[in-house]
Structure 1
Amino acid sequence: MIKHGLDPAQLALGGLRVLELGSGPALAYAGKLFSDFGAEVIKVESPAGDAWRQMPPLVGAAGAAPESALFAWLNTNKRSVTADDANAEDGAWLARLARTCDVVLDARALAAGPGILGTPVWQAAADEAQGHEPIEVALTWFGESGPYSHYAGAEAVCRGLAGAVHGSGPADGPPHMPHDVQSAIVVGLSAFSAAVAALTGSGQGSRRYVLSAHEAIFSVVEMEAGMVQDQRHPLRRLGVNRFCGTHPAGIYQTAEGWIGLFTHTLPQWKGLCEAIGRPELGSDPRYASGPERMARADEIDALLLPALLARTAGEWFAILGDKKHPAVIVPTMETLLGQQVHRQRGAFVPVDVAGVSLEGPVVPLRLDAAGPLPGGRAPVKGAHDLYYRTSGLDHRPRRQLSRVAGERLPLQGLRVVDLTMGWAGPLASRTLADFGAEIIKVESTGYPDWWRGANFTEAFYRDRLYEKNSNFNLMNRNKQGITLDLTRPEGKALLMQLVETADAVIENYSAEVLPKLGLDYEALRARNERLVVLSMPAFGLGNAWSNTRAYGGTLEQASGLPLYTGHPDGPPAMTSYAYGDPIGGLNGGAASLLALFVQQATGQGRHINLSQVEAMLPMAAPFMLEQSARGTVSPRQGNRHPLHTPHGCFRCAGDDAWIVLTVTDADWPALCRALDRADLAADPRLAHASGRRAEEDRIEQAIKSWCADRDAETAMELLQSAGVAAGVVRPMSQVLQDIHLRARGFWREVERAHIGRYTASTAWFRTGPQPLPIRHVAPTLGEHTEAVLSGVLGLSAEQIASLERQGITGTVAKPRQAREMA
């Protein structure tokens, strides 16, 4: 039967059964990714129901009990069963049900601590015979080891400790904290990717992956770890919409609406100056580089603010787009839902809840006939109890599995040609590399990856500064690197030969680049019909905005998120320097993994047309759903939480020292004890969040007074000892030295040519107590050209030497003039 215009038999994950244990938005989003691609996802709730069923916005038709629109969106196309943790019979039944599943997504540790993971759910007793062992992905706040492993966690707490809060907000604080669902999307994507990688490698057996939300959330600010090491980070908060490296890179009011700018290169600055009628500023040496412009940010804004008020956001978008300047309309949710580029792509899908049909963001991993389903409805609590306690137990998993022995990685044997630069694309390919795929990264000596550096001075070439950028080194571990000049027939021919041997190609060039080179999808497919190709421009391919220039900050601006982030009395606020890059990269990695799983099953190749702006939209789901339901979005609440209170960022003793804390009804007595405020504990009006919300100012003042006398580390330890979820708001310089991350081996000291020792991150998933090894550090320019051309394509030593003499390959970057003379 055709469902939502799609054939269920064609859906990427059709025929799989997934058990979803625990609660929280990260688990729900991981399960949603499965269910929206056709898997039978069984959500296990307590008899009282999932707590997120109460998460605003609440909606309902006249006469119907209101329900959470956000819960409905997170749980489309799932089944629901109920089970009591304290009931032994329910435990035995869950063990039987788990053995019918291909995958178990287990988030029980988020509430109960990692100790609960010691016995898998499919073992009712520790000594029970195993039988089928499903793939297991366990979510924890801080992993199974390390000083924080026993800590109470929350999305905001992990975000603060990971360095993803400190850099955003007013210079004097408090830093900004975004909606919990944003961190949850990151963790859920990571869990889904681990599960799909394990499914792809399930011919070897099943695997168990344990994720730390803390480490997964770090991925959204990983670039800053490289900037700190390279001494390019200011080590302090610069203010709302001001991030280290360049200016203007913010949000500005126009005659109608807001325009987002991200001015990185000198040509972009010159184009902006021409657009506002001040071309002389484009050649003024005081503004020649991003750092120089950042030093004069106030001066530049004083020029920009009145100039940009002369036209509407739409007019500026068109004018600056013609000049290839990264600029976008920063939309309200009403504007976003009306943008035809997204409508034409089907970016908004129906979500049925409580008798009302709303619009929410589509899952952004587009596989055409293989999914995702365009919307759906969430299950009623316990709606499927009877079935899964009777005939549903007769189901057999796709494969009877036992645990993989040894260190083999699930994607071992797959080959990916990597045509990416910067952050987003290399993160997508690094995801596959970390799961064992062979990644062949293709650069050229004339156009190396711009994350090696984009300031092409004499020193850049003379001192090989392109080998000394820690951001490049962080993002390109576990890859081989070759050089080919794709503007020349010989280089293009060699690339095509590589494509013939590959399983996938990942590229993030501007939309027009590969077609100009004769290397678009149709050309690649003609050489390899089973090829998976991921393209990831800002707005996707094939629409009016496909050629829009964008950086990671541009993607965040275009999603509309800044209008709903920040303090109530402040301007629209971006979250980090390049938020859209890691989100695009994580989605690109997940989409590639999913397409490779389908390729393995069917032999079919496909072109994944990923829009990186669309990849940001799930983070805007709470606001989009509210706009759809009510025709408006509630005013910004700053750092306050829609469900829990108190929740916020509080100043501690010391220079720019802060902690994050979040308190549920169950935690409230513990907080009162920690604060030594028996009067608050004794007030019956404050026992529930609704009552505390009415007294939020008074409660927050009590917390501020307590924190002011304690340094942040002490405050965190005291609150955690009391059982309250709290964490230090760490700047990135502290994250690099964090005792928990160091104890877990998340940071590794490695050696690389031209740079010596540097600190490298490790993968955000683990199969045991130790991190996965870094098989090899990021490649130097062209490091593996000879090995790949000889070992993969069979070229002789003389053929390889000839290519280097002609300048088609090489290991030394060339200035443009030298390249053109070669």
Structure 2
Amino acid sequence: MTDDAPEALLRGVKVVLLGSGTALSMFGSILGEQGADVVRIEPPAIGDDLRRRGPFADDESLTWAVAARSSRSVTCDLTHPEGTALAVRLLSQCTIVGECLGAGRLDALDALPTLRGPRVVVRFSGRGYAGPAAAHEAPELVALAMSGLLSLTGQPHRPPVPFGVRLAEQLAGVSGATAALAALLDATPDDENRPLLVDLATHAAALRLTEWTVAAYDVLGTQRQREGNRPSSVAPLDVYVTADGDHVAIVGGSDANFARLVKAMDRNDLLTDERFVTADDRVAHGDEINDLVASWVEARSTDDVERRCLECGAPFGRVAGPAAILADAHLTARGDLVVVDDPTIGSHVQQAPHPRVIGAMPVIPTPAPTLGQHNEQVWCEEVGITTAELARLRELGVV
């Protein structure tokens, strides 16, 4: 939940998260950053698994600080009958439920048949809730492998290389948020007021990213291969190294971009070179044109290459690490970075909420909650149990 602001598009929408994981947290973050009231139900004492994922600052997880922002935390033992009953009371008040408890766990709680309140329940899992392999785990790397996406990343002569971030799981979270919002637009009546159930499998989210891979194999028998930084369908395109040792991305595949690039290189003669006249010609001689660009880049400073490319309109970008991101004037001017005042870690910079309304500066996310920080607020003030009952449940280890 972000601070109250007119740009909070989902103000008044309550979301409850059951379980843990990157996909579920991304789902909650996206909704919370757009103004929804996101409540995480965590196990008492130990909390969400993401709290134990590094890196750490004074024993506090920076993974948690980013993943759990814009949400509230309550504790409840979902394996205890009184915990289940308490959770169902909260679920009946919400609009959206996100769940990642593992195959069959939510059904085992007997919660779904009694829910009369949520419009949609998004169920996250590695392999989905249907199919012969649904019960088997599929964390990020396994999901990437299953989807075929992993087979496309890396150099042709080397083993597949996973991404540096949990791409498939985060995409699953984004897809889940999209599905939940689509469900809110569904005006189809349900006489029994049952929630719409969405099956969100990590491997399927990654499969959706594989573009034409499956279609080309089915129609043409083409087995798509790893191609590294130089794809077989466009040239020149690569990550080149400057005289300063920096990596820079340059794209000159289209006729327009190629003309801009050769102008930056002072090599207009390349426009009439029979090897490079058309896009197809450049693809046929991909290594040759990429090598020419590489030689030009490696003979110049990063600043000089950047200046020449940008002056001529050629697509260019430095490969940015965190120091460069923090120093980027464009990102700063747009408000793509925000300072979050976290009471446990201290004030620090994070990515701004995205997307946002044009012309509006980003709303600062509320910091990630401490374990059970909102127990009294949610269980007593909103669900309606007494403080004495909360104390009794706490004594039993239910909350």
> TM-score with structure 2 length normalisation?
0.90
Asked if 1:502 corresponds to 2:94, the answer is yes
Counterpart of 1:431 in structure 2 is 30
Q: Secondary structure at the match of 1:792?
A: helix
> Does the 8 A contact of 1:745 with 1:770 survive in 2?
no
Q: Which one of 787, 796, 806 corresponds to residue 386 of structure 2?
A: 796
Q: C-alpha separation between the residues in 2 aligned to 1:634 and 1:717?
A: 36
Matches within 5 A, 1:112-151: none
Asked if 1:659 corresponds to 2:251, the answer is no
Q: C-alpha separation between the residues in 2 aligned to 1:668 and 1:534?
A: 45
Per the TM alignment, residue 504 of structure 1 is displaced from its structure 2 partner at its CA by 1.9
Distance 1:697 1:642, change over 3 A: closer
Asked if 1:786 corresponds to 2:376, the answer is yes
Per the TM alignment, residue 592 of structure 1 is displaced from its structure 2 partner at its CA by 1.3
Asked if 1:576 corresponds to 2:172, the answer is no
Q: Secondary structure at the match of 2:146?
A: helix
CA-to-aligned-CA distance 1:111-165 (integer Å, 9 cap, x gap): xxxxxxxxxxxxxxxxxxxxxxxxxxxxxxxxxxxxxxxxxxxxxxxxxxxxxxx
> Does the 8 A contact of 1:530 with 1:599 survive in 2?
no
Matches within 5 A, 1:271-286: none
Q: Which one of 562, 565, 584 corresponds to residue 153 of structure 2?
A: 565
Per the TM alignment, residue 601 of structure 1 is displaced from its structure 2 partner at its CA by 7.0
Q: C-alpha separation between the residues in 1 aligned to 2:188 and 2:307?
A: 49
Matches within 5 A, 1:697-712: 697-712=287-302
Q: Which one of 297, 302, 305 corresponds to residue 715 of structure 1?
A: 305
Asked if 1:757 corresponds to 2:347, the answer is yes
Q: C-alpha separation between the residues in 1 aligned to 2:23 and 2:299?
A: 42
Q: Which one of 56, 63, 67 corresponds to residue 475 of structure 1?
A: 67
Structure 2 unmatched ranges of 5 or more = none
Distance 1:599 1:788, change over 3 A: farther
Q: C-alpha separation between the residues in 2 aligned to 1:802 and 1:604?
A: 32
Q: Which amino acid aligns with 2:181?
A: L
Per the TM alignment, residue 599 of structure 1 is displaced from its structure 2 partner at its CA by 5.8
Q: C-alpha separation between the residues in 2 aligned to 1:575 and 1:755?
A: 27
Q: Secondary structure at the match of 2:394?
A: helix
Counterpart of 2:179 in structure 1 is 591
Distance 1:696 1:531, change over 3 A: closer
Q: Secondary structure at the match of 2:248?
A: strand
Q: Secondary structure at the match of 2:63?
A: helix
> Does the 8 A contact of 1:424 with 1:583 survive in 2?
yes
Distance 1:802 1:551, change over 3 A: same
Distance 1:557 1:736, change over 3 A: farther
Q: Which amino acid aligns with 2:6?
A: E
Per the TM alignment, residue 505 of structure 1 is displaced from its structure 2 partner at its CA by 1.1
Per the TM alignment, residue 732 of structure 1 is displaced from its structure 2 partner at its CA by 3.8
Per the TM alignment, residue 792 of structure 1 is displaced from its structure 2 partner at its CA by 1.0
Q: Secondary structure at the match of 1:721?
A: helix
Matches within 5 A, 1:405-416: 407=6, 409-416=8-15
> Does the 8 A contact of 2:229 with 2:239 survive in 1?
yes
Q: CA RMSD in A?
A: 2.4
Per the TM alignment, residue 751 of structure 1 is displaced from its structure 2 partner at its CA by 1.5
The higher-RCO structure (CA 8 Å, 6+ apart) is 2
Q: C-alpha separation between the residues in 2 aligned to 1:679 and 1:494?
A: 74
Asked if 1:766 corresponds to 2:341, the answer is no
CA-to-aligned-CA distance 1:412-456 (integer Å, 9 cap, x gap): 22211111423111111222212222111111223411111159x
Q: Which amino acid aligns with 2:31?
A: L
> Does the 8 A contact of 2:116 with 2:194 survive in 1?
no
Per the TM alignment, residue 684 of structure 1 is displaced from its structure 2 partner at its CA by 5.1
Q: Secondary structure at the match of 1:710?
A: coil
Q: Which one of 479, 482, 493 corresponds to residue 85 of structure 2?
A: 493
Q: Which one of 334, 349, 352 corresponds to residue 744 of structure 1?
A: 334
Matches within 5 A, 1:640-651: 640-651=230-241
Asked if 1:533 corresponds to 2:148, the answer is no
Q: C-alpha separation between the residues in 1 aligned to 2:347 and 2:152?
A: 41
Q: C-alpha separation between the residues in 1 aligned to 2:189 and 2:351?
A: 33
Q: C-alpha separation between the residues in 1 aligned to 2:178 and 2:265?
A: 43
Distance 1:494 1:646, change over 3 A: same
Q: Which amino acid aligns with 1:679?
A: D
Q: C-alpha separation between the residues in 2 aligned to 1:511 and 1:651?
A: 47
Higher mean C-alpha displacement, 642-651 vs 782-791 = 642-651
Distance 1:706 1:582, change over 3 A: same
Distance 1:804 1:464, change over 3 A: farther
> Does the 8 A contact of 1:552 with 1:577 survive in 2?
no
Q: Which one of 36, 42, 48 corresponds to residue 443 of structure 1?
A: 42
Distance 1:693 1:596, change over 3 A: same
Counterpart of 1:417 in structure 2 is 16
Per the TM alignment, residue 556 of structure 1 is displaced from its structure 2 partner at its CA by 0.9
Q: C-alpha separation between the residues in 2 aligned to 1:531 and 1:693?
A: 50
Counterpart of 2:267 in structure 1 is 677
Per the TM alignment, residue 719 of structure 1 is displaced from its structure 2 partner at its CA by 0.8
Q: Secondary structure at the match of 1:425?
A: helix
Per the TM alignment, residue 721 of structure 1 is displaced from its structure 2 partner at its CA by 1.5
Q: C-alpha separation between the residues in 1 aligned to 2:130 and 2:261?
A: 54
Per the TM alignment, residue 582 of structure 1 is displaced from its structure 2 partner at its CA by 1.0
Structure 1 unmatched ranges of 5 or more = 1-405, 810-822
Q: Which amino acid aligns with 1:559?
A: S
Per the TM alignment, residue 534 of structure 1 is displaced from its structure 2 partner at its CA by 1.0
> TM-score with structure 1 length normalisation?
0.45
Q: C-alpha separation between the residues in 2 aligned to 1:527 and 1:635?
A: 47
Q: C-alpha separation between the residues in 2 aligned to 1:736 and 1:525?
A: 49
Distance 1:464 1:641, change over 3 A: closer
Per the TM alignment, residue 680 of structure 1 is displaced from its structure 2 partner at its CA by 1.3
Identity of aligned residues (%): 27
Q: C-alpha separation between the residues in 2 aligned to 1:556 and 1:433?
A: 27
Q: C-alpha separation between the residues in 2 aligned to 1:704 and 1:779?
A: 48
Matches within 5 A, 1:595-634: 595-598=183-186, 605-634=195-224
Counterpart of 1:452 in structure 2 is 51
Q: C-alpha separation between the residues in 2 aligned to 1:773 and 1:529?
A: 29
Q: Secondary structure at the match of 1:620?
A: coil
> Does the 8 A contact of 1:554 with 1:580 survive in 2?
no
Q: C-alpha separation between the residues in 1 aligned to 2:188 and 2:361?
A: 28
CA-to-aligned-CA distance 1:590-619 (integer Å, 9 cap, x gap): 111112221687665211112211111121
> Does the 8 A contact of 1:762 with 1:771 survive in 2?
no
Distance 1:706 1:434, change over 3 A: same
Counterpart of 2:280 in structure 1 is 690
Q: Which amino acid aligns with 1:477?
A: R
> Does the 8 A contact of 2:232 with 2:283 survive in 1?
no
Per the TM alignment, residue 774 of structure 1 is displaced from its structure 2 partner at its CA by 2.4
> Does the 8 A contact of 1:765 with 1:771 survive in 2?
no
> Does the 8 A contact of 1:499 with 1:524 survive in 2?
no
Q: Secondary structure at the match of 1:760?
A: strand
Counterpart of 1:730 in structure 2 is 320
Distance 1:775 1:757, change over 3 A: closer
Per the TM alignment, residue 410 of structure 1 is displaced from its structure 2 partner at its CA by 2.9
CA-to-aligned-CA distance 1:443-483 (integer Å, 9 cap, x gap): 1223411111159xxxx9xx983xx1111111222211111
Q: Which amino acid aligns with 2:391?
A: A
Distance 1:668 1:527, change over 3 A: closer
Kindly tell me the number of residue pairs found equivalent between the two proteins.
391
Per the TM alignment, residue 645 of structure 1 is displaced from its structure 2 partner at its CA by 1.9
